[in-house]
Amino acid sequence: MEFLSGGPLLLIVNPAARRAARLVADARRVFSAAGVAVEEAWTERPGHAAEVASARARDVATVVVLGGDGTLKEVAGALAHSGRPVGILPGGTGNLVARALGIPMEATRAARVVLDGVPRATDLGRLRIGGQPHWFAFSTSVGVDVRMLSRTRPKTKRRFGPLAYAATALGEILDFQTFRARISVDGERFERDAAEVMIANIGSVLNDMLVLGPQIRADDGRLDMCLYAPANAGQAIGVLWRMARQRFDAPERLVFRAGRVFSVDCEPPQQVQADGELVGTTPFDVEIDEGAAMFLVPKWA
């Protein structure tokens, strides 16, 4: 708890988080029992979490985010290279970043990680699309997962969590679609038909239920291009099987490249997501921001 000696804790809450009021109450009890003062800020619109973090982080010892991956990447981007620790209370649908960092999904245990955890420097991705900058801690992508995100109803996500995506994902695979992808990775160019193109910072999905590609790490100073190019719905299911088994030896359907600077364009243009939020339409550019975030993680992680 050494980093908490410099002042109160700022808790930024996304009210759209699943069971937000209950999670906040659970976390308050843990912080109160430890004698830690807490200032709360509840967000009111997209981008508000970043505004709050930028305005108030200097006056607190650490910043804690209660929300999903989208809220977390806002705060992490706003505090990039500040050295300010960011704690995580998972409250989103997938909580992909929290799971990959070993953060417990239960609020009281996650709050204890805020108190007793250790800071870990983590890379971020910087995305520029339509002249606007965005950050991501997990990934940015185009293709089947973006259509899945846009077609899954918020009410269903709040009720079922990650399982909400399952039925939508199956429907998207069966309604198989591809697009022409043109990608540059540190100047090396790729062009082919694809069902999905992802620039990933973290490779583990839902505690390794799926792995996006080989040796994808959030602290290696690189991002990873994952190009998935099945020719039909049957091959798409086969790609998922390979991701679940961590078998990536199918170069005709799976292409991976690590790098620092990327550009992606598609024909026809595709919607783009960054950490679960739709941010615009192709083309876009990405670069690594090495060690930009400082997340609080369990000592054993």
Contact at 8 Å (CB) between 80 and 293?
A: yes
Contact at 8 Å (CB) between 91 and 20?
A: yes
Separation between Cα atoms, residue 49 and residue 89, nearest integer Å: 14
Give the residue among 110, 73, 108, 74 at the shortest CA–CA distance from 90.
110
Same domain (yes/no): 171, 200: yes
Same domain (yes/no): 223, 108: no
Give the pLDDT band (50/70/90) at residue 169: low
Same domain (yes/no): 112, 168: no
Separation between Cα atoms, residue 143 and residue 172, nearest integer Å: 10
Give the residue among 100, 94, 122, 98 at the shortest CA–CA distance from 109.
98
Residue 295 domain-assigned (yes or no): no
Separation between Cα atoms, residue 52 and residue 72, nearest integer Å: 12
Same domain (yes/no): 142, 285: yes
Q: Where are the alpha helices (DSSP H) in the chain?
A: 20-33, 48-56, 69-78, 96-100, 107-116, 144-151, 154-160, 164-174, 233-245
Here the CATH number for the domain that contains residue 204 is 2.60.200.40
Q: Which of 116, 151, 167 is the last residue of a domain?
A: 116
Separation between Cα atoms, residue 157 and residue 37, nearest integer Å: 32
Residue 121 domain-assigned (yes or no): no
Q: What is the pLDDT of residue 164?
A: 54
Contact at 8 Å (CB) between 139 and 199?
A: yes
* Total tally of structural domains belonging to the chain: 2
Higher pLDDT pick, 43 / 168: 43
Residue 97 domain-assigned (yes or no): yes
Same domain (yes/no): 33, 149: no
Residue 38 domain-assigned (yes or no): yes
Residue 179 domain-assigned (yes or no): yes
Beta bridge partners of 10: 39, 63
End-to-end CA distance of the chain: 17
Same domain (yes/no): 201, 253: yes
Q: Which of 62, 82, 116 is the last residue of a domain?
A: 116
Same domain (yes/no): 98, 200: no
Burial zone of 54 (CB within 10 Å; 0-12 exposed, 13-18 middle, 19+ buried): middle
Res 172 pLDDT > 60: yes
Residue 144 domain-assigned (yes or no): yes
Orientation angle between helical segments 107-116 and 20-33, nearest 10 degrees: 40
How far are the Cα atoms of 9, 89, 111, 267 from residue 106, in angstroms, in the given order? 19, 8, 9, 43
For residue range 251-273, what is the model confidence (pLDDT) as tens digits? 999 999 999 999 999 999 999 99
Domain containing residue 246: 128-290
Share of the chain above pLDDT 90, in %: 78
Here the CATH number for the domain that contains residue 48 is 3.40.50.10330
Give mean pLDDT, residues 25-29.
96
Same domain (yes/no): 136, 275: yes
For residue range 83-120, what is the model confidence (pLDDT) as tens digits? 999 999 999 988 999 999 999 999 999 999 999 999 99
Q: Which two tokens stand for residue 243?
A: 């991701």
Residue 63 CB-half CA count within 13 A: 34
Same domain (yes/no): 98, 156: no
Beta bridge partners of 134: 127
pTM, two decimals, is 0.91
Q: What is the four-CA torsion angle of 104, 224, 128, 10, rounded to 10 degrees? A: 20
Q: Which of 86, 116, 146 is the last residue of a domain?
A: 116
Q: Which two tokens stand for residue 200?
A: 């990933």
Same domain (yes/no): 255, 136: yes
Beta bridge partners of 143: 196
Q: What is the pLDDT of residue 300?
A: 78
Share of the chain above pLDDT 70, in %: 90
Count of H-run helices and E-run strands, the chain: 9, 18
Same domain (yes/no): 17, 112: yes
Residue 297 domain-assigned (yes or no): no
Residue 123 domain-assigned (yes or no): no
For residue range 42-73, what is the model confidence (pLDDT) as tens digits? 999 999 999 999 999 999 999 999 999 999 99
Same domain (yes/no): 167, 107: no
